[in-house]
Structures are given as structure tokens and as C-alpha cells.
Amino acid sequence: MKNVFLTVKENRPLTNDFYKMVLEGECSGHTAGMFVNIKLQDFTLRRPFGIADADNHSITLLYKVVGLGTKYMTTLQNGVIIDVLTCLGNGFNLGKASKPLLIGGGTGIAPLFKLAKELKSKYPNIILGFRTHEDVCMIHEFSEFGNVHVTTDDGSYGYKGNVLSYLKSTGIVYDYYYACGPLVMLKNLTSIDKNGELSLESRMGCGFGACMGCSIKTKSGYKRVCKEGPVFNASEVIFDEQT
């Protein structure tokens, strides 16, 4: 974990409620799947976001406006300095796949972007799922790194249906997957195939392992999403029956 102070370089909407924020400053050591926890003025709890892209001088976030914190984030102008805890979590295991498949649902596309970039030489298949055409974004950017397939629930863009019905209906060849998205999507994915990794999101308190607030059930007991995760082996996670 590193505590850095980064400057907003870009903060703009990609769709009605999904934003791209680029933060600049000294910040090395990120691997695909890690996340940041950012301090917002007047908010006690930090907000966690997957690292969509990063190099030694910048971090890119893709965030959806869902509540007061993310709404406030949309007002941050270029030049504002933000307190960021970074290099959090474990990240994806890139060595596992020779024919990778990336599956992102909604905001789950965010951590997959850096992963796609790093797996570029294996030209991964990338399935991106959205509710409707108004939510579709980042297609051209992902296309630089792999073969992109788009689904929308209402069929207004790409395949009509969700990422899993698409996966089942096509003969995409892969030997290992990396997925991030709504819990129900991840749960249903593991019922089809457990040979992959899931990046999980859970409500967080401290964000660095101290409060146990983010614990999830696994086959080897409770684990903290912020510390032992956010990436877990698909065969390891135990989902609630209600999910």
C-alpha cells in the first residue's frame, strides 16, 4: 500500500453516469487488478475503485455515479489534488491463460482494461456487457488489445442478452477467464465454469485489512476483499444463496 497525492488531469463523462478520471503524479508498482482507495473532502470513508490503467506517472479510473461520493467526484476539476491509497489488493494472475477470456459486466469493465492491455500479446477474447446502448463505452479502446464482443440486455447494441448467454451461445475458445461485474453474473459464471478468476467488489471500511468489513465466504474461511482480494480463484468463492 502506498499513500500518494495525485492531481486530477482529466475527469469527463463517457456516458450519462460513467466517468473517466486520470490522476497524475509519482505512483509506480501497480499490477492489473489492484485498486485505489481515494479520500474525498468531507467524506469520512474512502471510496475504492479498480485501476483501469496506470504507469509510473498516472492512474486512470472508470467510475459510475451511484451515490454522494461519486457524484462529488464528477465536480473535481483539473488541478485538484487527491489523497490516494494505491497498489491495494492482489491483482490478477496473468500467467494462467494461454487463450484468455475477459468478461466484464457494467462497471466491472474497469479493472479489465489494464488486464487486456497486459494480455495484448495473447489477443484475448473480451466480452463486455451493458444494460443498453447508452451505457456502451470503451469499445474502441478495448479493441486495441483483443477481440471485443458487446452485449446489451435490451439488444440495442450488439448481442441481445447478457454476457453469459452470449458465452453459452457462441463457441469462444478459451482456457482461462478473468471476470468482474455484478455478483449474480459472477455466481452464474462459476456455475458454468470455475477455471478462472473473479474480481469482487464489497462494501469497504478501512480498505487495507484492518476492519474485516469487506469479508466474503470462501472454501478456506472468511477472506478480506481488500487484502486477500479483490481477485479470487473462481473455485474458491462461496456465494450466498440469495445472490
| Residue 47 sits in the site that holds ligand FAD (CB under 6 A) | yes
Q: Between 192 and 221, how does the x/- string for binding to ligand FAD read (CB under 6 A)?
A: ---------xxxx-----------------
Instruction: Give the integer Cα–Cα distance in Å for 147 and 158.
Output: 14
What, of ligand FES, ligand FAD, none, does residue 224 touch, CB below 5 to 8 Å by kind? ligand FES
Report the DSSP beta bridge partners of residue 159: 151
Q: Is 232 in the site for ligand FAD (CB under 6 A)?
A: no
The alpha-helical segments, DSSP class H, found in 39-94 are 68-73
Residue 32 C-beta: closest distance to ligand FES, Å: 20
Binding partner selected for residue 87 from ligand FAD, ligand FES, none, CB under the kind-specific 5 to 8 Å limit: none
What CA–CA distance (Å, rounded) separates 61 from 53? 7
Residue 203 binds which entry of ligand FES, ligand FAD, none, CB below 5-8 Å type-dependent: ligand FAD
Q: Which does 15 bind (CB under 5 to 8 A by kind): ligand FES, ligand FAD, none?
A: none
Q: Does 69 sit near ligand FAD (CB under 6 A)?
A: yes
Which of ligand FAD, ligand FES, none does 182 bind, CB closer than 5 to 8 A by kind? none
Main-chain phi, psi angles of 116, to 5 degrees:
-60, -40
52, three cell numbers: 483501469
Contacts of residue 160, Cβ cutoff 8 Å, sequence gap at least 6 = 151, 152, 153, 154
Residue 88 corresponds to which cell in the numbers above? Answer: 491495494
Helix (H) or strand (E) holding 140: helix 139-143
Q: How far apart are CA 170 and CA 59, in angstroms?
A: 35
User: In the bound complex, what is the minimum distance in angstroms from residue 48's beta carbon to ligand FES?
Assistant: 8
* Region binding ligand FAD by CB under 6 A among candidate stretches 61-69, 153-161, 165-173, 186-194: 61-69
Could you tell me the smallest distance in angstroms from the CB atom of residue 105 to ligand FES?
23
Contact between 82 and 37 (Cβ < 8 Å):
no
Look at residues 231, 14, 223, 224 and name the one whose alpha carbon lies nearest to residue 102.
Answer: 231
When asked if residue 62 is in the footprint of ligand FAD (CB under 6 A), the reply is yes
Q: Does 66 bind ligand FAD (CB under 6 A)?
A: yes
Q: Is there binding between residue 30 and ligand FAD (CB under 6 A)? A: no
Q: Of 4 and 65, which has the nearer Cβ to ligand FAD?
A: 65
Q: Please, which residues have CB within 8 angstroms of residue 73's CB and are 6 or more apart in sequence?
A: 11, 19, 21, 40, 47, 63, 65
Q: Out of ligand FAD, ligand FES, none, which partner does residue 209 contact, by CB within 5 to 8 A per kind?
A: ligand FES
Interface with ligand FAD (CB under 6 A):
35, 45, 47-50, 62-64, 66-70, 107, 110, 201-204, 225, 230
